[in-house]
Chain A
Amino acid sequence: MRHTFKRNRPLVLLLATLAAMAAPAFAQEDAARIETEQRTRALNRLKPGPTPESEEVTDPELGDISLVSRAPRPKMFTFWTGQTINFTSNAFLVPDNEQSAFYWNGRIGASYVPYATRNFTPRLTFEQDWFRYDHLTSLDFDSQNLQLDLKYDLTRDDTWFTNASYAVSRLSSSGDEFYRYGLANLSVTRFAPVGNAPFYLGVTGGGYWRHGDASDSDRVSAYMNVVALYYLRETIQLSGFTRPEFQHYTHDPSGSRDDFNITVGATISWNPKEYLSFGATAAYIGNFSNVSERRYDLVTPSLLFGAQFAF
């Protein structure tokens, strides 16, 4: 069960990532996903089966075979790409006169782990994103994100861990930077198998502080990610996720703005190879604000392709 659970963890985090895509804090989830994916992939090479408790062989020529439990070390370098085709029912995030659009989000990234212990993994990540809309080209933009993430395992079996991270991002359109911000995030995550079925529950609770130039979107936020995951087959996973988030805007032009944002969705994904994943997801995002023009909701289905290489 432990092997299965650990093998499944990357998908839990992938789904957490999907859940977070609508929120600006997705980079934190990415870092965690990559790191755990590497660990679990290494474990995956050991197919499930109980570790032998005691064996005897009739060959004195062999030497001592002392069994150990060896957790995979995070890979030093990881490179990845992700491509999603999305639809949004409300491209401008407005309460009325909504406009729908298709858009493409392409991303490439690299991460570097200079050093790691069993409990502690620092990771430096760079990611480039492109967003391109089909007819609302005024919304097109690119972003670069550089992040330092510190992951600390609270338990030996990785079922509880914390992440502390700081990221700087710049957003540009047609080569002109229009926004830059920093994001400090702190979260605690718990994953647990439920019963004997291939069913898992993951919960992340955390908060972040975002400060930028311009400062209109500066805010502090508390959030929770909840993911329920079921394995239909070894390589096919079905999940449901939700992310409630409370946001307090610190420099909103209206003076005082508090939002409650909720994301609810479901995903099916397929990992035909350890380095490839395909997925389809659909999510509803509702934003409730004390500033009436900031209220909105939208539905966003997506098709996802991901690939990565680590060494």
Chain B
Amino acid sequence: MIARKCQKTALGQRWSRSLGRGLALFVSSLCVASFASAADLSQAVVRQKVNVVTVAPSLNAQGQPAAQGAVIHDENVVRTGVESRAELEFSDLTLARLGANSIFSFDAKARAMNFNQGAVLFSKPTKSGPVELRTGAITAAITGSTGFISNVRGAHGQSKKQGGTTLVGMLEGKMNGGTRWTDSAGHEHTTRFQLGPGQLLVARLDGPPRMAQFDIPRFLRTSPLVNGFSNPLRNMAEINRAVADYRADERGGFIDQTNIMVVSTKSGTVWDRQPNIPIEVSVAELNKNAGPGFLPVGTTGVIRGQLVWTTDADLDLYLTLPNGQQVSFKNVSVTFNNGNAIAKLDHDNLGRTIDIQPNIRVENIVVNGVPLAGLYTFLVNNFGTRNASDPFKLTVNFNGRTQVITGNLANGQNSPPVIVRVPGG
């Protein structure tokens, strides 16, 4: 009886949600014109700040510290420092939450917000007219919506043309835009896109953009741009609807986890996907009693890191424990946390041994027992190679979450770290 009642309720909710959405579409299309002029970006107020936030009259001018409540005017440039954050609120209640090391400005006449660097979460009330967002090679328009942008400047090993990576993701609402890029022959292209809730655009200047879909609830749980501020987002009702839709899709089986993470690290290395990385030959070996994303070499553990490569180079996997001790070929086993945990390199490879045909080499580190709370940092070092560089794949798993990075390492080079945080303590 209860089940039937719940089912009826769910059906009713879905009916009313769909009907409501249809009506909302119609009504909003009528309203857009009348509210278009209401998008007021003439000034913003620093609603909340954490650590260092400065304001400068222009991009090249010296910034002055901005206090909470400070008013930011048209074309001012707002910067946040290391481990700093700021929340700006415009007259039309549009919010821009800036993460650390961000640079932000706005153009009131063009009703445009410029995200020059760093991460930002934007949230715009539905009835406040369209706003243009500019970041990297992307220009996009939103009316009522919430999303995030991460604009990462080029870093080590990137040419000026490569410029960096821009991520744009939507939590609720829609975004329409275009992104410019240049192909290897020097031809310029513009790719149009539309993003809806849970959709992500990864754009670079030197290649076509790529689209993906992401786990909205997980982002909301883990993002400091969402949880690191005391004020709730004004579009929380819309975000909750997007989460409810996501959950409904999950229950209906429409969502498959890919075990692929967009990894956030403090390293200066940026996205370096190698399209022809030969590690893909081992895909058939994945999931063969080895856990998600792991090859069946070495053992499993509470925390597991596995390095895979396909050349005869000597790549080494390192794990640094929260107490500073290191596990690697130099020190293959460490007992810690008062003897309650053990970290072990249980499969070592100097590059001369093929673990899986035709050419797969593996190193595997596991942590078992009761691990100490804190950060566990995995990284890969190219100890010796005759090649210009060697492709690798590092897979790290803890508590059901798998992080994967791939890349190329030259002789002596380290990979960016993959960090696991064990809570507690």
A residues bordering B, Cβ < 8 Å?
45-47, 49-73, 75-77, 114-119, 311
Contacts and interface: CB of A to CB of B under 8 A. Distances in A.
B263 A56 contact: yes
A77 B258 CA distance: 30
B211 A46 contact: yes
B212 A56 contact: no
Contacts of A47: 191, 193, 209, 211
Interface in B152-202: 152, 155, 165, 167, 169, 191, 193-196, 198-200, 202
A62 B119 contact: yes
A118 B254 contact: yes
A65 B21 contact: no
6 contacts: A46-B211, A52-B212, A59-B152, A66-B218, A67-B262, A71-B255
Nearest to A49: B210
A61 B269 CA distance: 16
A54 B406 contact: yes
A77 B222 contact: no
Nearest to A71: B254
B350 to A, nearest CB: 25
Contacts of B255: 68-71
Interface string B202-246: 100000111111110011111111100000000000000000000
A68 B257 contact: yes
Contacts of A77: 18-19, 22
A252 B211 CA distance: 58
Nearest to B224: A61
B261 A64 contact: yes
A61 B260 contact: no
Given A52-B260, A55-B165, A57-B150, A64 B406 contact: no
Contacts of B213: 46, 67-70
Interface in B66-93: 85
Interface string B84-121: 01000000000000011100000000000000001100
Interface stretch (B270-278, B309-317, B320-328): B270-278
Given A73-B252, A76-B18, A67 B258 contact: yes
Nearest to B251: A117
A56 B405 contact: yes
A66 B223 CA distance: 12
Nearest to B191: A47
Contacts of B215: 64-68
B386 interface: no
Nearest to B272: A56
A45 B252 contact: no
Given A70-B213, A73-B254, A119-B253, A55 B226 contact: no
B11 interface: yes
Nearest to B280: A53
B210 A63 contact: no
Contact of B271 (A55, A72, A311): A55
| Residue in A54, A56, A58, A65 whose Cβ sees the most chain B Cβ within 10 Å | A56
| Residue in A55, A61, A72, A73 whose Cβ sees the most chain B Cβ within 10 Å | A61
B83 to A, nearest CB: 9
B315 to A, nearest CB: 16
Contacts of B269: 56, 58
Contacts of A53: 260, 273, 404, 406
A64 B219 contact: yes
Contact of A57 (B25, B225, B257, B262): B262
Which 6 interchain pairs have the tightest Cβ spacing?
A63-B223, A61-B99, A118-B253, A65-B262, A76-B18, A311-B22
B260 A60 contact: no
B260 A58 contact: no
B257 A66 contact: yes
Given A50-B210, A62-B225, A65-B261, A56 B267 contact: yes
Contacts of B198: 68, 70
B170 to A, nearest CB: 11
B214 A66 contact: yes
Contact of B210 (A45, A52, A64, A76): A52
B265 interface: yes
A62 B210 contact: no
A70 B101 CA distance: 33
A87 B263 CA distance: 61
Contact of B14 (A62, A67, A76): A76
A29 B25 CA distance: 29
B29 interface: no
Contacts of A59: 99-101, 118-119, 150, 152, 264
A303 B331 CA distance: 76
Given A63-B220, A64-B401, A66-B214, 7 more contacts: A47-B193, A54-B261, A58-B269, A59-B99, A61-B118, A61-B223, A66-B262
A244 to B, nearest CB: 36
A69 B200 CA distance: 12
A69 B260 CA distance: 10
Contacts of A65: 167, 169, 200, 214-215, 219, 261-262, 264
A55 B221 CA distance: 20
B285 interface: no
Contacts of B401: 64, 66
B137 to A, nearest CB: 15
Contacts of A55: 165, 202, 262-263, 271, 273
B273 A49 contact: no
Contacts of A49: 208-211
A22 to B, nearest CB: 35
A115 B11 CA distance: 7
Contact of A61 (B25, B85, B196, B214): B85
B261 A67 contact: yes
A291 to B, nearest CB: 49
A65 B401 CA distance: 11
Nearest to B220: A63
A65 B101 CA distance: 20
A263 B22 CA distance: 39
Contacts of A118: 252-254
A258 to B, nearest CB: 43
Contacts of B155: 58
